[in-house]
Amino acid sequence: MTGVTHHAYYYWLRKVRQAACQNLPAVNGSKDLTAFKRLEVQSPAIDTQASVIIHLPTATLEIHNGASRQTVEAVLSALKSLC
């Protein structure tokens, strides 16, 4: 036990946060918007049957023939980090 009560801890935490916020630079009032253009991607519809289908509780992953090795590796790496 450190001898610091919950009340004292949160009191000083609030004081430290307020002091830290006062030292932050002012926020510019203008909102910088990022411009983007929607591009339609044309992909050949040669084979619509997926070679690999993985069903998850919240999503379904389909890998089609012709997917690049880098794409498959990136998808599997992301899947590994989720599971």
What is the spatial distance between Cα 36 and Cα 19, in angstroms, rounded to a whole number? Answer: 38
Bigger pLDDT: 27 vs 25 = 25
Given this model, what pLDDT does residue 16 score? 92
Counting the structural domains of the chain, the total is 1
* 71 within domain boundaries: yes
Bigger pLDDT: 10 vs 55 = 10
* 82 within domain boundaries: yes
Compute the average pLDDT of residues 31-39: 72
Compute the average pLDDT of residues 55-72: 83
What is the spatial distance between Cα 72 and Cα 70, in angstroms, rounded to a whole number? Answer: 6
Cα 10 from chain centre: 31
* 79 within domain boundaries: yes
Q: Note the residue count of the chain.
A: 83
* 60 within domain boundaries: yes
* 10 within domain boundaries: no
- The answer to whether the predicted template modeling score (pTM) of the entire model surpasses 0.95 is no
What is the spatial distance between Cα 83 and Cα 75, in angstroms, rounded to a whole number? Answer: 12
Is the per-residue pLDDT at 33 higher than 90?
A: no
Range of the domain at 71: 50-83
pLDDT class of 38 with cuts at 50, 70, 90: confident
